[in-house]
Amino acid sequence: QLQLRQSGPRLVKPSETLSLTCIVTGGSINSYYWSWIRQPPGKPLEWIGYIYYNGSTTYGPSLKSRVTMSVDTSENQVSLKLSSVTAADTAVYYCARDCFFSVARQSYSCFGLDVWGQGTTVTVSS
Amino acid sequence: EIVLTQFPGTLSLSPGDRATLSCRASQSISNNFLAWYQQRPGQAPRLLIYGASSRAPGIPDTFSGSGSGTDFSLTIKRLDPEDFAVYLCQQYGSSPRTFGQGTKVEIK
């Protein structure tokens, strides 16, 4: 059964870089897009962006200038970095499995965000 | 960016009641790529419905989704105690993916 296990610091100082990792177990990272989403306290979910297993990325507009996503296929994991954080970046951060892309058929299969990590509560504070 | 508006914001119902939740998009959603999630306090969202009307694996048939274009709904046929939670819609037909603000289904 596919599971996503998140790890990373829960406390980050203002102006520093938030770094989180999402390890995929029970399945392969290959051929899928992997999304990052966050939920500030009392606010709706915000999609941060996604990364394809080959490293191709698409970022949402609000955080685009500060976000970097990467993939390590040998470790079956994806990572998120958010630079120059402020208190407004305090949130629960999630990774989730997104669409499947078949290179052979050149077609997408999308079923929503069907598997989620457990979430990481990150607080930005000095 | 597609804006999703969910209504009502809160639904106060009793166990055994039927719940109907709505999600309206600011523009038509490509391929009806609209998903519904349930989120309980302190937990990650759980996928219920994808493609506007297809149930995710393991989701009971008390949950059903309908709609197309810009207007979508989620129906819970009979509310069980564990169904009282926040429900979110999300479009994944275009980038950026966007979420609605949620409907809280609470016990009356």
The per-residue pLDDT for A12 is 97
Q: What is the pLDDT of residues A33-76, one digit of tens each?
A: 999 999 999 999 999 999 999 999 999 999 999 999 999 999 99
B92, B98, B101, B103: which to substitute to probe chain A, counting the most A Cβ within 10 Å? Answer: B92
Q: What is the pLDDT of residues B16-51, one digit of tens each?
A: 999 999 999 999 999 999 999 999 999 999 999 999
CB spacing of B92 vs A46 below 8 angstroms? no
Given CB atoms, is A56 within the 8 Å cutoff of chain B?
no
The per-residue pLDDT for A79 is 98
E strand map for A13-73: 18-25, 32-39, 46-52, 57-59, 67-72
3-state helix, strand, coil in chain A (%, to 5): 0, 55, 45
> A20 phi and psi, to 5 degrees?
-130, 150
Query: Of the candidates B84, B81, B48, which has an alpha carbon nearest to the alpha carbon of residue B64?
Result: B48
For β-strands B46-50 and B54-55, DSSP reports them as antiparallel
Distance of CA B97 to the CA centre of its chain: 15
CB spacing of B101 vs A110 below 8 angstroms? no
Q: Angle at CA A57, nearest 5°, toward A80 and A15?
A: 35
How many other β-carbons are positioned within 10 Å of the β-carbon of residue B31? Answer: 12
pLDDT at A102 over 90: no
